[in-house]
Structure 1
């Protein structure tokens, strides 16, 4: 039986049928709102006790032990300063927050980016998010990728969304502009790991983690293709790395792309539009998931930002001018 006298204090008596089971497994089953790794952390630092002590996670339980958990009042990300940065909220309830992130916004603080990030904005939007890992961020978009993402607002939602992402039940579709004219869609099934030399980059490597990207053609232009990509997995820079590996790198990608090449007989306006697009042409367009609290299937879309729309319009005008 769980006795929650406050939202942050939980008391449980381990049922006798768990006798002989490892403590970490028992705690994960009796406290399903929290991940096993977080329960281990709280057991280690004394926020979670068993009969007043802190036994090793692998200890076998006898049944009848008193478990007490005090979820730390000190925020998990107390060092992240709240900042009033405008957020484009698509949907919000007690469990999740769905946002349309603009290009140029860094996800969380790091070297050279201590403030002005989405995480700073989230803890200002809802101070309770500071108690969650990275203020509830469960998946990321690169700084210069625009579009839709979900943030967890509770430990239970965070745990469930992380599991859903791992089990590939979260639908994520992107739009992109690739360099080169594709004849058809396809998929890339190639493992991704850190680049062996440049540790800031990712690369297709045999010893990497499984990564699968599906892509299909939306429109073809003289030297580019507007495509829709769907992720099966969610590796760092996955679409950018996979499309470069397939020899169709994303337009404007400063890391994995080619040097800009303007098609012959291009107008000054079109050449300027290509040169003026200063980020990878990638937008997270659609997100579908099972709500972590209600079990309801939900889906949202984020409209293409103005710079992406202007790029597509310039590509279409150039194609029309040249009889395509």
Structure 2
């Protein structure tokens, strides 16, 4: 077990007015437990507008929160494995990885090895001392595309701050069922499905989730969207697209039965049948480099299964 310092800051939104500070921080910094945040408050490691607050203090909204706290970091016990990595960018501070569909990010029950974490620990052993092996956000197993990984504690803290401040730009390409007329925004809270706890859903008591989308190309019966995340909830794009009744093609959890338009070519049908995952790809990632302060933008081309499908569809003007 090693020690590191966590530095976080944010403005408390006005709609939290009247709530207890510890409850508000648990919602704003969901990577940390409420009890851990309470400990930091009691230890004087949390400042509210420059003063040391109490756990039970009520917030007004608009206050500046600064957390500068010590945290124990366990050294990873996951196994390092010589698995292939598609590196889009690399320096001594961070890595940007192009994750293929089918690769699990973190080891878990059912996937103890053969994950992105196992590959990273082999490629960069120093990641064993970082939270979650330096991974600050994730992609679903069957979603392809870009992930950023911190290689130092300083970079990790800064990237987490950027994600919380919503200054990291994440753009996806998604093929959805149905023909959209125009782009838009889905602003609906997401939480656990009230019945099926393995799924997420739009629920009234969920966490804020905002997804922006615009039409990239229309096809007969389908639409290719460019989607931008403002928040990063579990399965957010998949849940939001299903909620507005344009589910992502190939999504086994939220997509329902695939609807094939009349007149679809045999080639398109074959490609759709061979697509064994949701047609969702994290195509573009933009952030501020944690060390140099310069803008870093990375892009990843569509993988073959996705790219070969599009030319088979009947494009519209």
Q: TM over 0.5: same fold? A: yes
Flag the 1:126–1:312 CA change in 2: closer, same or farther, 3 A. same
Following TM superposition, by how much is the alpha carbon of 1:319 offset from its aligned partner in structure 2, in angstroms? 4.2
In the TM superposition, what whole-angstrom CA distance separates every residue of 1:79-115 from its partner, at most 9, and x where no partner exists? 2000111101111111111111111100010110000
For the residues of structure 2 that align with 1:109 and 1:37, how far apart are their CA atoms?
A: 20
Following TM superposition, by how much is the alpha carbon of 1:241 offset from its aligned partner in structure 2, in angstroms? 0.5
> In structure 2, the residue corresponding to 1:308 is in which secondary structure?
helix
**Superposition pairs for residues 44-55 of structure 1, below 5 Å?**
none
Flag the 1:199–1:59 CA change in 2: closer, same or farther, 3 A. closer
What runs of 5+ residues in structure 2 fail to find an aligned partner? 5-30, 47-69
Which residue of structure 1 lines up, in the alignment, with residue 301 of structure 2?
A: 303
What is the count of residue pairs matched by the alignment?
Answer: 263
For the residues of structure 2 that align with 1:292 and 1:133, how far apart are their CA atoms?
A: 17
The two structures have a TM-score, normalised by structure 2, of 0.77
Which residue of structure 2 lines up, in the alignment, with residue 132 of structure 1?
A: 130
Which residue of structure 2 lines up, in the alignment, with residue 313 of structure 1?
A: 311
In the TM superposition, what whole-angstrom CA distance separates every residue of 1:136-181 from its partner, at most 9, and x where no partner exists? 0000000010011100111111111111101100000000100000
Aligned pair partner of 2:267 in 266, 269, 272:
269
- For the 8 Å contact 2:283–2:302, the answer to whether it is kept is yes
Flag the 1:223–1:71 CA change in 2: closer, same or farther, 3 A. closer
Superposition RMSD on alpha carbons, in Å?
2.6
For the residues of structure 1 that align with 2:32 and 2:279, how far apart are their CA atoms?
A: 37
* Bigger Cα Rg: 1
Flag the 1:198–1:77 CA change in 2: closer, same or farther, 3 A. farther
Flag the 1:182–1:86 CA change in 2: closer, same or farther, 3 A. same
Aligned pair partner of 1:57 in 43, 47, 50:
43
> In structure 2, the residue corresponding to 1:110 is in which secondary structure?
coil
Flag the 1:59–1:300 CA change in 2: closer, same or farther, 3 A. closer
For the residues of structure 1 that align with 2:180 and 2:300, how far apart are their CA atoms?
A: 25
Which residue of structure 2 lines up, in the alignment, with residue 186 of structure 1?
A: 184
Which residue of structure 2 lines up, in the alignment, with residue 141 of structure 1?
A: 139
> In structure 2, the residue corresponding to 1:135 is in which secondary structure?
helix
